[in-house]
Amino acid sequence: MSPALLRRLEQEIRRRRAASVLRVGIDGVDGAGKTTLADALAEALRAVGVPVIRASVDGFHHPRAVRYRRGRESPEGFFRDSYDYGALRRVLLDPLGPDGSRRYRTALFDHRADRPVEAAEQRAEPESVLIVDGIFLHRPELRDCWDFSIFLDVRFEISVPRGAQRGEGSPDPLAPENRRYVEGQRLYLRECDPAAHATMVVGYNDPAVPSILENRHAGSAAPVR
């Protein structure tokens, strides 16, 4: 984890804060480092007194019958059927938008147990920051929800072994058990071009030495210092 990147992101987010909630999305392929970065950023913001709401797209999966309706091994099914974006918007992103009620829920479904969860409704404090991590966050259904978004640019030959370290399949991107996920994410990259829509693109092959490849409000930049 790069302290310099955390400071840069903290600064970028704090200068954008307003009376309403600032919605931040951290996108990237599986194993890119999204959750670790999101948790560290949330901790850094809380340390300077910023109220933070943490959530993940993984709290908004479709039921297994929907996720696998194109077949258990289908890359297209992984890309198109994994998540309930309508529910994500309805109970989290839209309520925390500029005209929202600020009443929100951070999850609706446990995909491992394949059943709904009873996450309590909460009310956001003014000037809070919502940080959501997950794959596919720059799909057309979600692009207009982010006040600030990050895409972590990581090669599959690096991201897949990272994911395998968590006990998630083979470290080989070409292994049959990885085809659904790798090819599904390639579909996302081709169809949605997240790097073209993110506020900031971060080269994250080595989290200790990241580089900002694109910052749409400040121009391209070199390694983070």
CATH number, domain containing residue 150: 3.40.50.300
* Per-residue pLDDT at 114: 95
Domains in the chain, number = 1
Nearest-CA neighbor of 214 among 202, 225, 205? 202
Residue range(s) defining the domain that contains residue 142: 3-215
* Per-residue pLDDT at 217: 58
Q: Is 180 contained in some domain?
A: yes
Contacts of 8 (CB under 8 A, 6+ apart): 212, 224
Q: Is the pLDDT of residue 219 over 50?
A: no
The average pLDDT across 72-94 equals 97
Q: What tokens were used for 77? A: 């099914």
Total-model pTM: 0.92
* Per-residue pLDDT at 131: 98
pLDDT band, very low/low/confident/very high, at 224 (cuts 50, 70, 90): low
Cβ atoms of 198 and 151 closer than 8 Å: yes
Residue 108 has phi, psi (to 5 degrees) of: -130, -20
Q: Is 224 contained in some domain?
A: no
Q: Is 127 contained in some domain?
A: yes
Helix count (H) and strand count (E) of the chain? Answer: 8, 10
Q: Is 221 contained in some domain?
A: no
The proportion of the chain whose per-residue pLDDT surpasses 90, expressed as a percent, equals: 79
